[in-house]
């Protein structure tokens, strides 16, 4: 019982590394570990890149116009600037898991260099296409803060 009580006492801690109209970088810590997120928002939709200290990054895309059954497997394609992300087998079709108006999928290649050059992100799913503009001018600062956050959580 003592172990259970100590788990409940672990505080959840969020640290905002950068917040602007271009995007937000946040560190989140809880009893399960730490992660860093880079969030872009536009017109009620969002694209969130998440890095954990021990696993490959994931992307969660929320579009209020989409509606999927929970835990539904759905193929998606994501373009960052002019580059389509790959599923690791020379295909741009990536297996995602959907929950309501959100889809989540792994990123199998370094996305930071792509974001540094990109003017937009496009995500295509069966329910439709989401196109999100990026602020290229502020991207360097966002990515610098992502790297700082990732350095902290991997120590």
| Contacting residues for 90 by C-beta, under 8 A, at least 6 apart | none
Q: Looking at residue 37, what is its pLDDT? A: 97
Say whether domain 2-153 belongs to CATH 3.30.1450: no
Query: Residue 146 in 3-state DSSP?
Result: helix
Domains of the chain: which residue ranges? 2-153
**What is the reported pLDDT for 8?**
52
| Rounded mean pLDDT, 73-97 | 92
Cα→Cα distances 105→12, 16, 47, 128, Å: 25, 24, 11, 16
* CA separation for the pair 88, 85 (Å, rounded): 9
As a whole-number percent, the residues of the chain with pLDDT over 70 amount to: 93
Contact present, 41 and 26 (Cβ < 8 Å): no
Coil, strand, or helix at residue 129?
Answer: strand
SS3 143: helix
Q: Worst-scoring range by mean pLDDT, 84-88, 92-96, 141-145, 147-151?
A: 84-88
Q: Average pLDDT of the chain?
A: 90
Kindly report the pTM of this predicted structure: 0.89
Cα–Cα distance between 26 and 24 in angstroms, integer?
6
Q: Is pLDDT at 143 greater than 60 in this prediction?
A: yes
Q: What is the pLDDT of residue 9?
A: 54
């Amino acid at each position: 019982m003592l172990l259970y009580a100590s788990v409940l006492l672990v505080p959840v801690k969020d640290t905002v590394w950068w917040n602007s109209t271009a995007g937000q970088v946040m560190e989140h810590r809880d009893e399960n570990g730490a992660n860093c997120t880079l969030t872009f928002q536009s017109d009620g939709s969002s694209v969130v890149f998440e890095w954990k200290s021990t696993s490959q990054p994931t992307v969660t895309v929320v579009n209020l116009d989409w509606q999927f059954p929970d835990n539904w497997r759905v193929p998606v394609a994501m373009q960052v600037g002019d580059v389509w992300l790959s599923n690791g087998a020379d295909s741009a079709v990536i297996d995602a898991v959907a929950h309501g108006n959100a889809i989540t999928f792994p990123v199998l290649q370094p996305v930071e260099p792509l974001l540094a050059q990109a003017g937009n992100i496009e995500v295509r799913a069966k329910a439709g296409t989401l196109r999100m503009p990026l602020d290229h001018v502020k991207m360097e600062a966002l990515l610098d803060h992502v790297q700082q956050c990732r350095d902290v959580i991997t120590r």
